[in-house]
Amino acid sequence: MDYIVLDLEWNQAVDGKEGENEKIPFEIIEIGAIKLNSDFEEVSRFSQVIKPEVYPKMHHVMKQLVHIDKDELMQGKPFRDVAASFIEWCGNDYIFCTWGQLDLMEFQRNMEYYEMPPLCAGPLRFYDVQKLFSLAYDDGKSRFALETAVDHLKVEKDADFHRAFSDAYYTAQIFSLLRKPEIMERVSFDLYHLPKSRKDEVYIVFSDYAKFISREFADKAEAMEDKQVSSMKCYLCNKNIRRKIKWFTPNGKHYYGVAACDVHGLIKYKIRMKKSREEKVYVIKTSKQTDEDGLLRVKEKKEKARILRQQKRHMKADKSKQI
């Protein structure tokens, strides 16, 4: 399998929301990529400027950030042609690698705007190299600028930043320095296209947690009624296990629960309710081993939520009394 390390530059409306086309808030003006083989050796390069059609004027921030002059831009090719030749260049067996999560989303949104067939019918597996860098050198949650990572790893700075190809080049350099099994297992999923049916749903077990990405539901209640969403299975032995704390939510957005496996001990669960583009909801559920302290923390959270609910109820009751 090849690694396609991709970077895009884009432009936006000069007059903010007013002049924005909602279907394409960011218009891609350059695609740069490096193809690495499975041994992380560079085998091919791709670099193309795209002539903008939606926002022909460069936004002032983009002008400062992206070093493409107007002449170069006007000599670019149409998005459809560049995207098609890029996809062909990618080949048949590859995984995308990008710095952060935005590039693949914007790429797919631009493709949809130009009515091109989708890259992938459902979630798209990729490596978020920015996340991998954080996992390797920080807490996994922080995010750093590409140049910060380049400096940290002492990668030679022989090209300008903020051009698609050079940023892809630096991302590839960093990516190849991160190739340890515990880092490489942490694949990400772009969710521009959500799972359409149960069989497209994503379930992935990493060494220290498991992740489930559901299809769409009409609302939160329907999601919580789904067996796959509400189940508390041990992700290590796949058995349905004894519930210690049933699902509860302190805010209507996040749900928590804890269960106990006879073999693998306590497992804590978190559901995040997400809004889809179609204004429906989908669920990201994670499960992770925990201990008695972890159980206690979830118990405290539940108790806090209960007290808050009670206070709200009393406030409502007081109000209706006044009326």
Closest contact distance (angstroms) between CB of 311 and Zn ion is 38
- Residue number with CB closer to Zn ion (172 or 261): 261
Do the Cβ atoms of 261 and 239 come closer than 8 Å? yes
- From the list 1-9, 132-140, 159-167, 257-265, the region that binds Zn ion by CB under 5 A is 257-265
Binding of Zn ion at residue 80 (CB under 5 A)? no
- DSSP class of 18: G
What's the CA dihedral at 134, 135, 141, 147 to 10 degrees?
10
> Which residue's beta carbon is nearest to the bound Zn ion?
234
Alpha carbon separation from 94 to 15, 35, 217 (Å, rounded): 38, 9, 31
Q: Which amino acid is at 322?
A: Q
Do the Cβ atoms of 52 and 72 come closer than 8 Å? no
Binding of Zn ion at residue 261 (CB under 5 A)? yes
How many residues of this chain bind Zn ion (CB under 5 A)?
Answer: 6
- Residue number with CB closer to Zn ion (67 or 239): 239
User: Which of 236, 284, 295, 305 touches Zn ion by CB under 5 A?
Assistant: 236
* CA–CA separation, 47 and 113 (whole Å): 22
User: Which of 74, 237, 296, 308 touches Zn ion by CB under 5 A?
Assistant: 237
- From the list 20-28, 70-78, 260-268, 285-293, the region that binds Zn ion by CB under 5 A is 260-268
- From the list 170-178, 224-232, 234-242, 245-253, the region that binds Zn ion by CB under 5 A is 234-242
- Residue number with CB closer to Zn ion (77 or 239): 239
Binding of Zn ion at residue 266 (CB under 5 A)? no
User: Which of 45, 193, 220, 264 touches Zn ion by CB under 5 A?
Assistant: 264
* CA–CA separation, 102 and 197 (whole Å): 25
Closest contact distance (angstroms) between CB of 209 and Zn ion is 14
Do the Cβ atoms of 189 and 213 come closer than 8 Å? yes
Binding of Zn ion at residue 263 (CB under 5 A)? yes
Do the Cβ atoms of 59 and 11 come closer than 8 Å? yes
Helix (H), strand (E), coil (C) string for 133-174: HHHHHCCCCCCCCHHHHHHHCCCCCCCCCCCHHHHHHHHHHH
Binding of Zn ion at residue 234 (CB under 5 A)? yes
- Residue number with CB closer to Zn ion (236 or 284): 236
- From the list 26-34, 92-100, 135-143, 236-244, the region that binds Zn ion by CB under 5 A is 236-244
Give, to the nearest 10 degrees, the angle between helix 79-90 and helix 102-113: 130
Positions touching Zn ion (CB under 5 A) are 234, 236-237, 261, 263-264
